[in-house]
A = this chain, B = another copy of it.
Amino acid sequence: MDSNSKKAIRNIEDEDYIPNLSYDSVIFGFNGEQLKILILEYHNTGLFALPGGFVKRHESLDDAVKRGVLERTGLDKIYFEQFHTFGSLTRSDSDVMKRILLGNSFDLDTNKWMLDRFISVAYYALINYDKVTLKPDLLSDSINWYAIDELPPLMMDHEKMVDKALNVLRNNIEKKLVGMNLLPSKFTMKQLQQVYEAILGENLRRTTFQRRILGMNILERHEKLYQGKAHKAPYLYSFK
């Protein structure tokens, strides 16, 4: 409890954080065609991972995640929701953590708390693809969008997390109007349908979809969008 008086420059101080607890985030965006998520790559390791982090002693779990998303995307008003806490004994891998620490020239001894077992609370977030300014964190080289069916191999149990996040998203799409957070404030019916299709992973019938969504009475119709294409222009909609 009272060790670590000398602090290297590149260190994360364990005293500030709740031990053995982390979060990971599956951050979804939609580029108009595909559903994508943010994946980062740790320095000098070839390891790909979900953006994650630790919870400060004087910070709520939700705030820790908000902070992490803000730091990496520049967005501070996002939709996010916890979906599962991963607590198996086998999920933590101290060898992987060693590689990450060494790849960042972190001192193994000072940072040995990071080699310990971690229980991780996983969140998904839905953000506006176009408004993001990506910024790698201290430990990583890059952070980038990857289409959900073209992900690199992810470390530890992060692929399981993505799978579960997608499942939860699919179940929530009807109940929680998930689409609204992945689109700009005004959008066409086609765009909305594409979000639904990307999430559900299946094609939907255009006429039925349109009728069903309009029947929900959740959309407001605005002006038409002239795209310069040789066909009828679609209306723009926003959520009420």
A residues at B contact (CB < 8 Å): 1, 18-21, 55, 57-62, 82, 84-85, 87-89, 117, 119, 121, 171, 175
Considering the complex, give the chain B residue whose CB is closest to the CB of A17: B20
Residue of B whose beta carbon sits closest to that of A84: B82
Whether the Cβ atoms of B85 and A117 lie closer than 8 Å is no
8 cross-chain pairs, A with B, having the tightest CB-CB distances, nearest first? A61-B87, A85-B85, A60-B88, A60-B89, A18-B20, A85-B121, A60-B87, A19-B19
The minimal Cβ–Cβ distance linking A3 to chain B, given in whole angstroms, is: 8
Provide the residues of chain B in CB contact with A89, threshold 8 Å: 58-60
CA distance A61 to B61 in the complex (A): 18
In the assembled complex, the Cα of A59 lies from the Cα of B18 at a distance in Å of 19
Residue in B20, B82, B84, B175 whose CB lies within 8 Å of A21: B20
**Copies held by the complex:** 2
Q: Are B175 and A55 neighbours in the complex by a CB distance under 8 Å?
A: no
Is there an interface contact between B62 and A88, defined as CB atoms closer than 8 Å? yes
Chain B residues in 8 Å Cβ range of A121: 85, 87, 119
A119 to B61 CA separation, bound complex (whole angstroms)? 8
Assembled-state Cα–Cα distance A225/B59 (Å): 57
Give the Cβ gap from A119 to chain B, nearest Cβ, in Å. Answer: 6
7 A-B pairs (CB sep. < 8 Å): A21-B21, A21-B119, A55-B87, A59-B89, A60-B89, A82-B85, A85-B85
Residues of B within 8 Å of A62, CB to CB, are 87-88
A58-B61 Cα distance, complex, nearest whole Å: 24
Of all chain B residues, which has the CB nearest A87? Answer: B61
| Residues of chain B lying within 8 A (CB to CB) of residue A84 | 82
Nearest CB on B from A156, distance (A): 15
Beyond A82-B84, A84-B82, A175-B171, whether A117 also contacts B57 by CB under 8 A is yes
Residues of B within 8 A of A82 (CB): 84-85
Nearest CB on B from A207, distance (A): 26
Find out whether the CB atom of A55 lies under 8 angstroms from the CB atom of B119: yes
Which chain B residue lies CB-closest to A61? B87
**How far is A63 from B185 in the complex, measured between Cα atoms in Å?**
45
